[in-house]
Structure 1
Amino acid sequence: MLKKMSGGWMLVAELRDNEDKPTKTMNVTVSARIGLGVANTFLEIIWDVALRETYGTYICEVIGFDKDTQSSLTELTSEVTIVEEDVTARDLWGLIQDLTKKVAGIDDQTNKFGDLLSSLGKDYSGTVDDVLGHSNDIALMKKDIGGLFFRINETTEHVEELDNDRHSTDKTVKFLNTGVRQLEEEMSFVHANITSNSNTTRLLHEDMTNIRNDLTAYHGDMKALEKADESFTREMNTLEARLGMLSGKILSQRDVQKTVDAKLTSRRVGTFEKFLENFAKISAWPAGKFAIPATRREGCPLDRAFFGNNHMYLSSPEWHYHLCETTRIISHKRPWPEGRYCVNKITGFRCPDGLEYGKVDMSIADTKVKRAESASSNFEFCCKKSGSHNVPMVLPTHSPFKLYRYGGRCQKVRGMETSENFLGPIKIKHSIPSNVKTGVTPDVDISSSSPIKFRWCYYY
């Protein structure tokens, strides 16, 4: 059904053979059906109320499809014009009667609603008085509750910090006690057996006594670790320097103490080497901002430097892996030890002093690869390439950790075993450009015929 408008014909309602219900564009009631033959097909439109836009010229259009000729057929009825005079008095009387019934129903509902409002008004007046009477108490209670939650949050954070510091302090004190006992045994043994070069022996004994006093004083200072983290770092550096001086003096005694036999020398050096291994267990990580791969079983090292930070690289959907990132820049002056190894570079920070920068372009990967905190697809590293794989370096040994392999073999670490593994495999989607690796990078297998593998070393 169409209505004639100034710009052409407008659709009023229609029914298609592939639809169950007719559609309409005007405020009308429509019923329709498409059946076999003209007798079973109709479209009826009823206006509940004749409005100004109801008047006008209408036409009915039927569109079909001839299966034999494969063409569409269109039938049009004659135009029908509806004018204002076509609305009879009977129609108006029916409308008036319907409206009268509706108005009567509205009046009845209005009376009931008035009674309900009156009842609610009484209840509301009493409720308002009660609410106003307690509003000040509620405001004070909210203020007290807010302050209580603030104090609870502060207390919870402080308890967590104390718990972490106590855990680290307990381990440190345990290892320091072991070192003190070993030094006391060594000093007693050296003092009892050295029989010549009395002046040098006296100086050595004084140095050992000073070291013992320093260790005793440092043991007491450990109780104040919660309030003096920077002081702890300075004391550790001083202790390392004094131990280095002591190591040199002990080793020099093999030249001046000609009367001390080879067994004494071997025992002294062996005891001191064991102390160095124990000292490695409490030593701090080298300076700078960096990250290392998390281990599959232990996760991040149990160290204050790595508390609460676990970032990741992503490659969806095949693989992902976690990184242990330092939560703050380690500010003490301990340098990175000589060796051949690599760590992850942190976006926005330069490589720590003594390490060289390098990157691998991962845009060649067949899956999406990105850093969690960066839109870059590059894997960035900081590498040390001086020293020998076979000379053990000193790093904290109280927790397992991973380093990237450099130079074809795993770097030895004092007091730890090592095994090799790899990150990957990562599929390649196209040919490999010549500049896929830039700078100094860890050992990585990259070829057009096999997936990418980053080699790393697990220390335990």
Structure 2
Amino acid sequence: MENIFILFLMIASACAVGWPSGRYSLPKPKTGCPPGWAEGGRYQDNEDSNNINSVTPSIGHHFFGTFGRNTNLYYCTKTTSSGSGSWPSGNYCIARYGGSCPSGFSTGFIYWDDEDNANANSKWGVFPDGVYDRNTKIYYCCKSDGSAYSYINLPTNKPFYLYKYTSTCQRVRGMTVTEESVKMDDEDDQNNSSDDGCHPSKSDTTKVDYCYYS
């Protein structure tokens, strides 16, 4: 009986965890954003010729968006600074919002050289810090001050994404994690795609690795 009571307290404690303080963005899953967060999206016009876009897994991924010859990704953004303490130590990234990272993170970016011909890039709503014109530059906040294998406490009442960083996907107490990825084929001619600083794991020039928690 005592063990059951302790287990109940552990579950109740995990459920009571709120999102850390600060302003930031996370990729939007099919289950939607946390209550009160803003939403937005970015449509990227990817390479027209011999397009090799992909999403992994191709069937059964959890991204809210559309994936074909072009990519439409959505974001959930926490626009207020209030929250439940600081982000826990670990190895993961979030997307930057509001001009700076929460305490304990370092910033960086990924720049996609999108399709040059008849470029149809667009955006709407609220989305991560970046430059959104004929090309796409998104800023991130990453940390590696703890082990990805050590469980951290984050809200467990609804699925969410983090970005994979320099290790495996960060473990989150009470959640199952699945690694997913999105590859956006960038411009073939005079390509200027780049990255700098601290940014999510990339398997190649344009494939970004995500961690889905459910």
User: What TM-score, normalized by structure 2, do the two folds share?
Assistant: 0.74
Give the counterpart letter for 1:427 in structure 2: D
* Equivalences for residues 196-211 of structure 1 within 5 A: none
Q: Is 1:366 matched up with 2:120?
A: no
* Equivalences for residues 79-118 of structure 1 within 5 A: none
Question: C-alpha deviations, 1:236-282, integer Å up to 9, x for none?
Answer: xxxxxxxxxxxxxxxxxxxxxxxxxxxxxxx4xx8546523332212
Matches of 2:45 and 2:9, distance apart in 1: 47
Aligned match of 2:92: 341
Quickly say closer, same or farther: Cα 1:320–1:274, change in 2 above 3 A: same
Aligned match of 1:357: 107
Question: C-alpha deviations, 1:71-107, integer Å up to 9, x for none?
Answer: xxxxxxxxxxxxxxxxxxxxxxxxxxxxxxxxxxxxx
More helix by share: 1
Q: CA RMSD in A?
A: 2.6
Q: Which runs of 4+ in 1 moved over 3 A?
A: 270-274, 367-376, 430-433
CA contact (8 A) 2:91 2:167 kept: no
Aligned match of 1:443: 201
Aligned match of 1:457: 211
* Equivalences for residues 359-398 of structure 1 within 5 A: 359-362=109-112, 364-366=113-115, 368=119, 372=124, 375-376=131-132, 377-398=136-157
Aligned match of 2:27: 293
CA contact (8 A) 1:341 1:406 kept: yes
Per the TM alignment, residue 366 of structure 1 is displaced from its structure 2 partner at its CA by 2.7
Question: C-alpha deviations, 1:304-334, integer Å up to 9, x for none?
Answer: 4x2xx2111221371111000114222x460
The percentage of aligned residue pairs carrying the same residue is: 26
Per the TM alignment, residue 383 of structure 1 is displaced from its structure 2 partner at its CA by 1.0
Aligned match of 1:310: 39
CA contact (8 A) 1:289 1:349 kept: no
User: What TM-score, normalized by structure 1, do the two folds share?
Assistant: 0.36
Matches of 2:18 and 2:144, distance apart in 1: 21
Return the index of the structure with the highest Cα Rg.
Answer: 1
Question: C-alpha deviations, 1:170-206, integer Å up to 9, x for none?
Answer: xxxxxxxxxxxxxxx75xxxxxxxxxxxxxxxxxxxx
Per the TM alignment, residue 354 of structure 1 is displaced from its structure 2 partner at its CA by 1.1
Structure 1 stretches lacking a partner, 5+ long: 1-184, 187-266
Structure number with the bigger relative contact order (C-alpha 8 A, sep ≥ 6) is 2
CA contact (8 A) 1:421 1:456 kept: yes
Quickly say closer, same or farther: Cα 1:333–1:319, change in 2 above 3 A: closer
Matches of 1:281 and 1:333, distance apart in 2: 13
SS of the residue 2:15 aligns to:
helix
Give the counterpart letter for 1:300 in structure 2: C
Structure 2 stretches lacking a partner, 5+ long: 47-69
Matches of 1:279 and 1:399, distance apart in 2: 15
